Structure 1
Amino acid sequence: MDAIQISNVTKRYRDTLALEGISFRFEAGRIYGLLGRNGAGKSTLINIIANRIFATDGCVTIDGEPVCENDRVQEKLYCMSEADLYPAGMRVKDIFKWTGSFYGCFDLEKAHKLAEAYELNVNKKVRALSTGYKSIFKLITALCLDVPYVIFDEPVLGLDANHRELFYRLLLESYQEKPRTIIIATHLIEEVANLIEEVVIIDRGRILLQDSVERLMATGYSIAGSQADVDTYCAGEQVFGCDLLGGMKIAYLMGGVREEKLHAGLHVSAMNLQKLFVKLTEKEVSSHEA
Structure 2
Amino acid sequence: MRELRAEHLTKRFGKTTALDDVTLSFEYGKIHALLGRNGAGKTTLLGVASNRLIPTSGQALVDGEPVTDNPRALAKVFCTGDVRMIPPSMCVDDLVGHMGRFHEGFDAKRALRLAKMFELDVKAKTGALSTGYRSICQLVMALSLDVDYLLLDEPVLGLDAAHRDLFYRLLMEDYLERGRAVVVATHLIEEVATLVERVAIIDEGRLLMEASADELRTSGYSVSGRAEDVRAYCEGLEVLGIDELGSLAMAYVQGEPVRERLTDRLDVAPMSLQKLFVELTGKGE
Per the alignment, residue 250 of structure 1 pairs with: 250
Query: For 1:106 and 1:62, how far apart are their aligned partners in 2?
Result: 20
Per the alignment, residue 203 of structure 2 pairs with: 203
Per the alignment, residue 64 of structure 1 pairs with: 64
- Could you tell me which amino acid in structure 1 is paired with residue 76 of structure 2? K
Count of residue pairs the alignment pairs up: 284
SS at match of 2:85: coil
Per the alignment, residue 36 of structure 1 pairs with: 36
Query: For 1:283 and 1:265, how far apart are their aligned partners in 2?
Result: 29
Query: For 1:239 and 1:200, how far apart are their aligned partners in 2?
Result: 21
Query: For 2:103 and 2:12, how far apart are their aligned partners in 1?
Result: 32
How much identity, in percent, do the aligned residues show? 48
Q: TM-score, normalised by structure 1?
A: 0.94
Per the alignment, residue 123 of structure 1 pairs with: 123
Pairwise CA RMSD:
1.4
Per the alignment, residue 164 of structure 1 pairs with: 164
Offset of 1:78 from its aligned partner? 0.4
1:240 equivalent in alignment to 2:232: no
Offset of 1:232 from its aligned partner? 2.2
Q: TM-score, normalised by structure 2?
A: 0.96
Query: For 1:248 and 1:82, how far apart are their aligned partners in 2?
Result: 46
Structure 1: 5+ residue stretches without partners: 285-290
- Could you tell me which amino acid in structure 2 is paired with residue 98 of structure 1? H
Structure 2: 5+ residue stretches without partners: none
Per the alignment, residue 288 of structure 1 pairs with: none
- Could you tell me which amino acid in structure 1 is paired with residue 214 of structure 2? E
Q: Bigger shift: 264-273 or 224-233?
A: 224-233
CA contact (8 A) 1:9 1:59 kept: yes
Moved over 6 A (4+): none
- Flag the 1:154–1:115 CA change in 2: closer, same or farther, 3 A: same
Query: For 1:73 and 1:124, how far apart are their aligned partners in 2?
Result: 33
Query: For 1:73 and 1:101, how far apart are their aligned partners in 2?
Result: 18
Offset of 1:242 from its aligned partner? 1.5
Offset of 1:155 from its aligned partner? 0.6
Query: For 1:102 and 1:42, how far apart are their aligned partners in 2?
Result: 25
Offset of 1:283 from its aligned partner? 7.3
Per the alignment, residue 100 of structure 2 pairs with: 100
Per the alignment, residue 145 of structure 2 pairs with: 145
1:189 equivalent in alignment to 2:193: no
Per the alignment, residue 265 of structure 2 pairs with: 265
Offset of 1:82 from its aligned partner? 4.8
Offset of 1:228 from its aligned partner? 2.5
SS at match of 2:123: coil
Offset of 1:157 from its aligned partner? 1.1
Per the alignment, residue 287 of structure 1 pairs with: none
- Could you tell me which amino acid in structure 2 is paired with residue 161 of structure 1? A
Per the alignment, residue 22 of structure 1 pairs with: 22
Query: For 2:61 and 2:238, how far apart are their aligned partners in 1?
Result: 35
Query: For 2:283 and 2:102, how far apart are their aligned partners in 1?
Result: 45
Query: For 1:95 and 1:161, how far apart are their aligned partners in 2?
Result: 26
Offset of 1:229 from its aligned partner? 1.6
The C-alpha deviation readout for 1:127-176, integer Å capped at 9, x for no partner, is: 22121111111100000111110011011111110001000000000001
Offset of 1:277 from its aligned partner? 0.5
Per the alignment, residue 109 of structure 1 pairs with: 109
Q: Bigger shift: 74-83 or 233-242?
A: 233-242
